[in-house]
Structure 1
Protein backbone atom coordinates (compact mmCIF):
# COMPACT_ATOMS: atom_id res chain seq x y z
CA UNK A 1 0.00 0.00 0.00
CA UNK A 2 1.24 3.47 -0.85
CA UNK A 3 2.72 5.19 2.21
CA UNK A 4 0.72 8.39 1.44
CA UNK A 5 -2.62 6.56 1.74
CA UNK A 6 -4.48 6.20 5.01
CA UNK A 7 -5.78 2.92 6.33
CA UNK A 8 -9.20 3.78 4.82
CA UNK A 9 -7.73 4.16 1.38
CA UNK A 10 -8.07 7.99 1.27
CA UNK A 11 -5.21 10.31 0.45
CA UNK A 12 -3.78 12.45 3.26
CA UNK A 13 -3.74 16.18 2.55
CA UNK A 14 -0.55 18.04 3.35
CA UNK A 15 -0.82 19.63 6.79
CA UNK A 16 -0.51 23.14 5.40
CA UNK A 17 -3.63 22.72 3.18
CA UNK A 18 -7.10 22.93 4.75
CA UNK A 19 -10.66 22.77 3.42
CA UNK A 20 -10.83 26.56 3.24
CA UNK A 21 -7.97 26.47 0.76
CA UNK A 22 -9.63 24.06 -1.65
CA UNK A 23 -13.25 25.36 -1.35
CA UNK A 24 -14.34 27.68 -4.17
CA UNK A 25 -14.18 31.38 -3.35
CA UNK A 26 -17.77 32.69 -3.08
CA UNK A 27 -18.71 36.22 -1.99
CA UNK A 28 -20.12 36.26 1.51
CA UNK A 29 -23.23 38.11 0.37
CA UNK A 30 -24.36 35.06 -1.59
CA UNK A 31 -24.07 32.74 1.40
CA UNK A 32 -25.35 35.20 3.99
CA UNK A 33 -29.14 35.13 3.86
CA UNK A 34 -29.33 37.99 6.36
CA UNK A 35 -27.88 40.56 3.94
CA UNK A 36 -30.61 43.23 3.52
CA UNK A 37 -32.30 43.35 0.13
CA UNK A 38 -34.40 46.28 -1.00
CA UNK A 39 -37.11 43.98 -2.34
CA UNK A 40 -37.58 42.59 1.19
CA UNK A 41 -38.35 46.02 2.64
CA UNK A 42 -41.88 46.81 3.86
CA UNK A 43 -43.77 50.04 4.45
CA UNK A 44 -44.31 51.09 8.07
CA UNK A 45 -46.36 53.90 9.58
CA UNK A 46 -44.54 56.28 11.92
CA UNK A 47 -46.37 58.52 14.38
CA UNK A 48 -45.05 62.08 14.72
CA UNK A 49 -46.00 65.28 16.47
CA UNK A 50 -48.85 66.87 14.50
CA UNK A 51 -47.61 69.64 12.24
CA UNK A 52 -44.03 68.33 12.19
CA UNK A 53 -44.40 65.69 9.48
CA UNK A 54 -42.21 67.51 6.94
CA UNK A 55 -39.56 68.29 9.56
CA UNK A 56 -39.43 64.63 10.58
CA UNK A 57 -39.12 63.57 6.94
CA UNK A 58 -36.22 65.98 6.44
CA UNK A 59 -34.44 65.03 9.69
CA UNK A 60 -34.84 61.30 9.14
CA UNK A 61 -33.41 61.50 5.62
CA UNK A 62 -30.39 63.36 7.02
CA UNK A 63 -29.91 60.71 9.73
CA UNK A 64 -30.14 57.88 7.19
CA UNK A 65 -27.37 59.47 5.14
CA UNK A 66 -25.10 60.46 8.03
CA UNK A 67 -25.43 57.07 9.77
CA UNK A 68 -25.01 55.05 6.58
CA UNK A 69 -28.43 53.37 6.75
CA UNK A 70 -29.24 53.61 3.03
CA UNK A 71 -29.06 49.81 2.81
CA UNK A 72 -31.88 49.32 5.33
CA UNK A 73 -34.08 52.44 5.12
CA UNK A 74 -35.04 53.22 1.53
CA UNK A 75 -37.92 55.71 1.42
CA UNK A 76 -39.45 58.34 3.70
CA UNK A 77 -42.76 59.84 2.58
CA UNK A 78 -45.29 62.32 3.92
CA UNK A 79 -48.48 61.09 2.21
CA UNK A 80 -50.33 63.97 0.55
CA UNK A 81 -52.94 64.41 -2.14
CA UNK A 82 -54.22 67.31 -4.22
CA UNK A 83 -57.49 68.86 -3.10
CA UNK A 84 -59.59 71.67 -4.53
CA UNK A 85 -60.64 74.23 -1.94
CA UNK A 86 -62.46 77.53 -2.13
CA UNK A 87 -60.59 80.71 -1.21
CA UNK A 88 -62.08 84.09 -1.90
CA UNK A 89 -64.83 82.46 -3.93
CA UNK A 90 -62.31 80.78 -6.24
CA UNK A 91 -61.17 77.19 -6.59
CA UNK A 92 -57.52 76.62 -5.69
CA UNK A 93 -55.54 73.37 -5.71
CA UNK A 94 -53.61 72.59 -2.53
CA UNK A 95 -51.51 69.72 -1.23
CA UNK A 96 -53.19 68.20 1.79
CA UNK A 97 -51.80 65.60 4.18
CA UNK A 98 -53.75 62.36 3.99
CA UNK A 99 -52.81 61.26 7.52
CA UNK A 100 -51.87 64.27 9.67
CA UNK A 101 -49.40 63.22 12.36
CA UNK A 102 -48.02 60.26 10.39
CA UNK A 103 -45.32 59.54 7.83
CA UNK A 104 -44.47 56.36 5.92
CA UNK A 105 -41.08 54.64 5.87
CA UNK A 106 -40.04 51.75 3.61
CA UNK A 107 -37.40 49.80 5.46
CA UNK A 108 -36.03 46.52 6.72
CA UNK A 109 -36.59 46.48 10.46
CA UNK A 110 -33.77 45.41 12.74
CA UNK A 111 -32.30 46.88 15.92
CA UNK A 112 -30.19 49.44 14.07
CA UNK A 113 -32.84 50.71 11.65
CA UNK A 114 -35.48 50.77 14.41
CA UNK A 115 -33.17 52.88 16.58
CA UNK A 116 -32.47 55.39 13.78
CA UNK A 117 -36.16 55.97 13.07
CA UNK A 118 -37.42 55.84 16.65
CA UNK A 119 -34.85 58.35 17.89
CA UNK A 120 -35.46 60.93 15.19
CA UNK A 121 -36.64 64.18 16.83
CA UNK A 122 -40.44 64.49 17.08
CA UNK A 123 -41.06 60.83 16.28
CA UNK A 124 -43.27 59.25 18.94
CA UNK A 125 -43.15 55.67 17.70
CA UNK A 126 -44.08 53.03 15.16
CA UNK A 127 -47.67 51.98 14.59
CA UNK A 128 -47.84 48.40 15.79
CA UNK A 129 -48.31 46.11 18.73
CA UNK A 130 -46.32 47.33 21.72
CA UNK A 131 -42.74 47.94 20.56
CA UNK A 132 -43.14 45.67 17.53
CA UNK A 133 -43.70 47.58 14.26
CA UNK A 134 -46.46 46.12 12.08
CA UNK A 135 -46.01 46.57 8.31
CA UNK A 136 -48.79 47.98 6.17
CA UNK A 137 -50.80 45.62 3.97
CA UNK A 138 -49.74 45.68 0.32
CA UNK A 139 -53.30 46.52 -0.76
CA UNK A 140 -53.35 49.47 1.63
CA UNK A 141 -50.04 50.75 0.24
CA UNK A 142 -51.30 50.43 -3.34
CA UNK A 143 -54.48 52.37 -2.56
CA UNK A 144 -52.54 55.10 -0.78
CA UNK A 145 -50.01 55.48 -3.59
CA UNK A 146 -52.85 55.76 -6.09
CA UNK A 147 -54.33 58.63 -4.09
CA UNK A 148 -50.96 60.36 -3.88
CA UNK A 149 -50.33 60.19 -7.63
CA UNK A 150 -53.86 60.97 -8.84
CA UNK A 151 -53.76 63.59 -11.58
CA UNK A 152 -57.31 64.84 -11.02
CA UNK A 153 -57.56 66.43 -7.56
CA UNK A 154 -60.52 65.83 -5.31
CA UNK A 155 -62.67 68.62 -3.96
CA UNK A 156 -62.23 69.44 -0.31
CA UNK A 157 -65.75 69.85 0.99
CA UNK A 158 -65.86 70.83 4.65
CA UNK A 159 -69.28 69.33 5.22
CA UNK A 160 -70.70 66.12 6.63
CA UNK A 161 -74.05 64.45 6.23
CA UNK A 162 -76.95 66.23 8.02
CA UNK A 163 -75.10 69.57 8.24
CA UNK A 164 -77.50 72.50 7.94
CA UNK A 165 -76.73 74.69 4.92
CA UNK A 166 -78.18 77.57 2.93
CA UNK A 167 -78.11 77.71 -0.85
CA UNK A 168 -76.14 80.81 -1.85
CA UNK A 169 -76.50 80.74 -5.62
CA UNK A 170 -78.76 79.47 -8.38
CA UNK A 171 -82.53 79.05 -8.72
CA UNK A 172 -82.87 77.75 -5.14
CA UNK A 173 -80.97 80.66 -3.59
CA UNK A 174 -81.76 81.40 0.10
CA UNK A 175 -83.46 78.04 0.66
CA UNK A 176 -82.18 76.15 3.68
CA UNK A 177 -81.73 72.42 3.94
CA UNK A 178 -79.51 69.65 5.21
CA UNK A 179 -76.74 67.72 3.50
CA UNK A 180 -77.85 64.34 2.21
CA UNK A 181 -74.90 63.10 0.13
CA UNK A 182 -71.41 64.36 -0.70
CA UNK A 183 -69.50 63.51 -3.89
CA UNK A 184 -65.95 64.83 -3.47
CA UNK A 185 -64.82 63.43 -6.82
CA UNK A 186 -67.33 65.60 -8.70
CA UNK A 187 -67.50 68.45 -6.19
CA UNK A 188 -71.23 67.97 -5.80
CA UNK A 189 -73.50 67.99 -2.75
CA UNK A 190 -77.04 66.69 -2.56
CA UNK A 191 -79.11 68.92 -0.26
CA UNK A 192 -82.53 68.03 1.10
CA UNK A 193 -84.72 71.14 0.93
CA UNK A 194 -88.35 71.59 1.90
CA UNK A 195 -90.46 72.20 -1.21
CA UNK A 196 -94.21 71.80 -1.62
CA UNK A 197 -94.55 70.40 1.86
CA UNK A 198 -91.97 67.66 1.48
CA UNK A 199 -88.21 67.20 1.43
CA UNK A 200 -86.77 67.21 -2.06
CA UNK A 201 -83.15 66.35 -2.99
CA UNK A 202 -81.34 69.05 -4.96
CA UNK A 203 -77.88 68.43 -6.40
CA UNK A 204 -75.64 71.49 -6.21
CA UNK A 205 -72.04 72.46 -6.79
CA UNK A 206 -70.31 72.82 -3.44
CA UNK A 207 -69.63 76.48 -4.28
CA UNK A 208 -73.39 77.09 -4.28
CA UNK A 209 -73.94 76.32 -0.61
CA UNK A 210 -72.81 77.73 2.70
CA UNK A 211 -72.79 76.00 6.07
CA UNK A 212 -75.03 77.55 8.72
Structure 2
Protein backbone atom coordinates (compact mmCIF):
# COMPACT_ATOMS: atom_id res chain seq x y z
CA UNK A 1 0.00 0.00 0.00
CA UNK A 2 1.35 3.33 -1.01
CA UNK A 3 2.24 5.60 1.83
CA UNK A 4 0.48 8.94 1.69
CA UNK A 5 2.54 11.78 2.94
CA UNK A 6 0.73 13.70 5.64
CA UNK A 7 0.32 17.37 4.74
CA UNK A 8 2.98 19.61 6.19
CA UNK A 9 1.80 21.89 8.93
CA UNK A 10 2.32 25.54 7.99
CA UNK A 11 4.34 27.43 10.55
CA UNK A 12 3.39 31.07 10.98
CA UNK A 13 6.31 33.42 10.54
CA UNK A 14 7.65 34.82 13.77
CA UNK A 15 6.30 38.24 14.56
CA UNK A 16 8.88 40.93 14.19
CA UNK A 17 9.92 42.36 17.50
CA UNK A 18 8.76 45.91 18.23
CA UNK A 19 11.61 48.42 18.39
CA UNK A 20 12.77 49.23 21.88
CA UNK A 21 11.69 52.66 23.15
CA UNK A 22 14.41 55.30 23.11
CA UNK A 23 16.24 55.80 26.40
CA UNK A 24 15.07 58.76 28.50
CA UNK A 25 16.90 62.03 27.97
CA UNK A 26 19.64 62.63 30.51
CA UNK A 27 18.64 64.85 33.39
CA UNK A 28 20.82 67.84 34.13
CA UNK A 29 21.27 67.85 37.93
CA UNK A 30 21.93 71.60 37.82
CA UNK A 31 18.79 72.47 35.86
CA UNK A 32 16.19 74.45 37.83
CA UNK A 33 12.93 72.63 38.58
CA UNK A 34 9.96 73.24 36.33
CA UNK A 35 7.38 75.50 37.92
CA UNK A 36 4.32 73.97 39.52
CA UNK A 37 1.65 75.94 37.64
CA UNK A 38 -1.78 75.39 36.19
CA UNK A 39 -2.17 75.05 32.42
CA UNK A 40 -4.10 78.34 32.33
CA UNK A 41 -2.20 80.57 34.74
CA UNK A 42 -3.71 84.07 34.94
CA UNK A 43 -1.68 87.17 34.16
CA UNK A 44 0.07 88.57 37.22
CA UNK A 45 3.19 90.45 38.30
CA UNK A 46 6.31 88.38 39.05
CA UNK A 47 9.82 89.29 40.20
CA UNK A 48 12.91 87.99 38.39
CA UNK A 49 16.39 87.87 39.90
CA UNK A 50 18.88 89.26 37.41
CA UNK A 51 22.55 90.24 37.23
CA UNK A 52 23.45 93.46 39.06
CA UNK A 53 24.02 96.56 36.91
CA UNK A 54 22.45 94.84 33.87
CA UNK A 55 18.79 95.31 34.72
CA UNK A 56 17.96 97.58 31.76
CA UNK A 57 19.73 95.48 29.12
CA UNK A 58 18.25 92.23 30.48
CA UNK A 59 14.74 93.70 30.47
CA UNK A 60 15.22 94.77 26.84
CA UNK A 61 16.58 91.32 25.92
CA UNK A 62 13.47 89.72 27.44
CA UNK A 63 11.18 92.06 25.47
CA UNK A 64 13.04 91.15 22.29
CA UNK A 65 12.77 87.42 23.07
CA UNK A 66 9.01 87.73 23.58
CA UNK A 67 8.67 89.42 20.17
CA UNK A 68 10.87 86.87 18.40
CA UNK A 69 8.91 83.94 19.84
CA UNK A 70 5.55 85.63 19.11
CA UNK A 71 4.52 85.21 22.76
CA UNK A 72 3.13 88.69 23.28
CA UNK A 73 -0.29 87.40 24.34
CA UNK A 74 1.28 85.91 27.48
CA UNK A 75 3.34 88.98 28.47
CA UNK A 76 2.54 92.53 29.49
CA UNK A 77 4.87 95.19 30.85
CA UNK A 78 8.48 94.37 31.71
CA UNK A 79 9.69 96.91 34.26
CA UNK A 80 12.97 97.89 35.87
CA UNK A 81 11.61 99.38 39.13
CA UNK A 82 12.99 102.89 39.46
CA UNK A 83 12.07 106.34 40.63
CA UNK A 84 12.68 109.86 39.37
CA UNK A 85 15.00 111.61 41.78
CA UNK A 86 15.63 115.34 41.96
CA UNK A 87 19.18 116.22 42.98
CA UNK A 88 21.10 119.46 42.95
CA UNK A 89 24.59 120.24 41.76
CA UNK A 90 26.91 122.44 43.80
CA UNK A 91 25.98 125.46 41.70
CA UNK A 92 22.30 124.91 42.54
CA UNK A 93 21.12 123.44 39.23
CA UNK A 94 18.34 120.87 39.53
CA UNK A 95 18.82 117.51 37.86
CA UNK A 96 16.27 114.68 37.58
CA UNK A 97 17.63 111.18 37.13
CA UNK A 98 16.45 107.59 37.38
CA UNK A 99 17.39 105.60 40.46
CA UNK A 100 16.79 101.84 40.67
CA UNK A 101 14.55 100.83 43.55
CA UNK A 102 15.56 97.15 43.53
CA UNK A 103 19.03 96.58 42.10
CA UNK A 104 19.29 93.01 40.83
CA UNK A 105 15.58 92.58 40.07
CA UNK A 106 13.12 93.25 37.26
CA UNK A 107 9.34 92.82 37.29
CA UNK A 108 7.24 91.13 34.61
CA UNK A 109 3.48 91.04 34.04
CA UNK A 110 2.91 87.61 32.50
CA UNK A 111 1.05 84.32 32.46
CA UNK A 112 3.20 81.38 33.56
CA UNK A 113 3.09 78.09 31.67
CA UNK A 114 5.77 75.72 30.39
CA UNK A 115 6.46 77.82 27.28
CA UNK A 116 6.70 81.19 29.01
CA UNK A 117 8.75 79.75 31.89
CA UNK A 118 11.33 78.31 29.50
CA UNK A 119 11.37 81.51 27.43
CA UNK A 120 12.26 83.56 30.50
CA UNK A 121 14.91 81.07 31.60
CA UNK A 122 16.60 81.22 28.19
CA UNK A 123 17.40 84.94 28.49
CA UNK A 124 20.98 85.51 29.60
CA UNK A 125 21.40 87.23 32.96
CA UNK A 126 18.13 85.95 34.48
CA UNK A 127 18.76 83.52 37.32
CA UNK A 128 15.29 82.68 38.66
CA UNK A 129 11.83 83.78 39.73
CA UNK A 130 11.31 84.74 43.35
CA UNK A 131 9.20 82.18 45.17
CA UNK A 132 9.54 78.94 47.06
CA UNK A 133 9.72 75.23 46.23
CA UNK A 134 10.17 75.92 42.52
CA UNK A 135 6.86 77.80 42.29
CA UNK A 136 7.01 81.44 41.11
CA UNK A 137 5.23 83.67 43.61
CA UNK A 138 3.08 86.55 42.31
CA UNK A 139 3.75 89.97 43.80
CA UNK A 140 1.53 91.30 46.55
CA UNK A 141 -0.73 94.19 45.44
CA UNK A 142 0.96 96.59 47.85
CA UNK A 143 4.37 95.76 46.34
CA UNK A 144 3.00 96.46 42.86
CA UNK A 145 1.94 99.89 44.10
CA UNK A 146 5.33 100.54 45.74
CA UNK A 147 7.57 99.46 42.89
CA UNK A 148 5.56 99.61 39.65
CA UNK A 149 2.84 102.27 39.88
CA UNK A 150 5.00 105.20 40.92
CA UNK A 151 4.32 108.92 40.37
CA UNK A 152 6.84 111.10 38.58
CA UNK A 153 8.84 113.76 40.37
CA UNK A 154 7.30 117.24 40.26
CA UNK A 155 8.78 120.64 40.96
CA UNK A 156 7.32 120.54 44.48
CA UNK A 157 9.54 117.54 45.27
CA UNK A 158 12.71 119.63 45.21
CA UNK A 159 14.88 119.09 48.27
CA UNK A 160 18.05 121.06 49.04
CA UNK A 161 21.18 118.99 48.74
CA UNK A 162 22.93 118.11 51.99
CA UNK A 163 26.58 117.19 52.28
CA UNK A 164 27.26 116.79 56.04
CA UNK A 165 27.03 113.01 56.51
CA UNK A 166 27.15 111.77 60.14
CA UNK A 167 27.88 108.14 59.17
CA UNK A 168 30.91 106.07 58.31
CA UNK A 169 31.36 102.75 56.53
CA UNK A 170 30.26 99.86 58.75
CA UNK A 171 27.67 101.81 60.77
CA UNK A 172 24.32 100.12 61.36
CA UNK A 173 21.41 102.32 60.31
CA UNK A 174 17.64 102.27 59.88
CA UNK A 175 15.75 103.74 56.92
CA UNK A 176 13.48 106.55 58.16
CA UNK A 177 11.29 107.10 55.10
CA UNK A 178 10.60 106.00 51.57
CA UNK A 179 9.93 102.53 50.17
CA UNK A 180 12.16 100.80 52.72
CA UNK A 181 11.07 102.60 55.89
CA UNK A 182 12.17 100.75 59.09
CA UNK A 183 14.49 98.42 57.18
CA UNK A 184 17.89 98.03 58.85
CA UNK A 185 21.22 97.69 57.12
CA UNK A 186 24.92 98.52 57.10
CA UNK A 187 26.57 101.54 55.51
CA UNK A 188 28.78 100.37 52.64
CA UNK A 189 29.66 103.62 50.84
CA UNK A 190 29.65 107.27 51.95
CA UNK A 191 29.35 109.81 49.10
CA UNK A 192 30.05 113.19 50.69
CA UNK A 193 30.12 115.01 47.37
CA UNK A 194 26.46 114.17 46.71
CA UNK A 195 25.23 113.76 50.28
CA UNK A 196 24.35 110.08 49.81
CA UNK A 197 25.10 106.73 51.42
CA UNK A 198 24.88 103.18 50.10
CA UNK A 199 23.30 100.79 52.62
CA UNK A 200 23.27 96.99 52.33
CA UNK A 201 19.69 95.83 53.02
CA UNK A 202 18.23 92.31 52.93
CA UNK A 203 15.43 92.20 50.34
CA UNK A 204 13.63 88.98 49.36
CA UNK A 205 16.42 86.95 50.98
CA UNK A 206 19.19 88.77 49.14
CA UNK A 207 21.71 91.44 50.24
CA UNK A 208 21.07 94.45 48.01
CA UNK A 209 22.98 97.76 47.97
CA UNK A 210 20.56 100.70 48.20
CA UNK A 211 21.70 104.26 47.45
CA UNK A 212 19.89 106.72 49.72
CA UNK A 213 20.07 110.36 50.68
CA UNK A 214 21.86 110.47 54.03
CA UNK A 215 18.89 112.14 55.72
CA UNK A 216 16.74 109.12 54.84
CA UNK A 217 18.58 106.96 57.40
CA UNK A 218 19.27 107.22 61.13
CA UNK A 219 21.80 105.46 63.38
CA UNK A 220 20.80 102.43 65.44
The answer as to 2:91 corresponding to 1:108 is no
Displacement of 1:143 in angstroms is 2.8
Partner residue of 1:42?
A: 44
TM-score by length of 2: 0.52
Partner residue of 1:129?
A: 132
Partner residue of 1:163?
A: 167
Displacement of 1:80 in angstroms is 1.1
Quick one: distance in 2 between partners of 1:136 and 1:156? 35
The answer as to 2:62 corresponding to 1:63 is no
Partner residue of 1:167?
A: none
Give the one of 60, 74, 83 matched to 1:81.
83
Quick one: distance in 2 between partners of 1:161 and 1:87? 17
Partner residue of 1:168?
A: none
The answer as to 2:97 corresponding to 1:94 is yes
SS of 2:56 mapped into structure 1: helix
Q: Which moved more, 1:87-96 or 1:45-54?
A: 87-96
Quick one: distance in 1 between partners of 2:145 and 2:176? 25
Partner residue of 2:24?
A: none
Give the unaligned 5+ runs of structure 2: 1-38, 179-194, 196-213, 216-220
The 1:160–1:103 alpha-carbon spacing in structure 2 relative to 1, beyond 3 Å, is: farther
> After the TM superposition, which segments of 4 or more aligned residues of structure 1 sit over 6 Å from their partners?
156-161, 181-184
1 or 2, which has the higher helix percentage? 1
The 1:47–1:154 alpha-carbon spacing in structure 2 relative to 1, beyond 3 Å, is: farther
The 1:92–1:63 alpha-carbon spacing in structure 2 relative to 1, beyond 3 Å, is: same
Counting only pairs closer than 5 Å after superposition, residues 170-189 of structure 1 correspond to structure 2 as: none
Partner residue of 1:172?
A: none
Displacement of 1:68 in angstroms is 1.3
TM-score by length of 1: 0.54
Displacement of 1:140 in angstroms is 1.6
The 1:71–1:87 alpha-carbon spacing in structure 2 relative to 1, beyond 3 Å, is: same
SS of 1:51 mapped into structure 2: coil
1:132-184 per-position Cα deviation (integer Å, ceiling 9, x unaligned): 110001122123234x33343575978999638xxxxxxxxxxxxxx9x9677
RMSD value, Cα: 3.8
Partner residue of 1:119?
A: 122
Quick one: distance in 2 between partners of 1:159 and 1:118? 43
The 1:145–1:157 alpha-carbon spacing in structure 2 relative to 1, beyond 3 Å, is: farther
The 1:155–1:104 alpha-carbon spacing in structure 2 relative to 1, beyond 3 Å, is: farther
Quick one: distance in 1 between partners of 2:164 and 2:137? 32
Displacement of 1:113 in angstroms is 0.5
Aligned pairs, how many?
A: 138
SS of 2:127 mapped into structure 1: strand
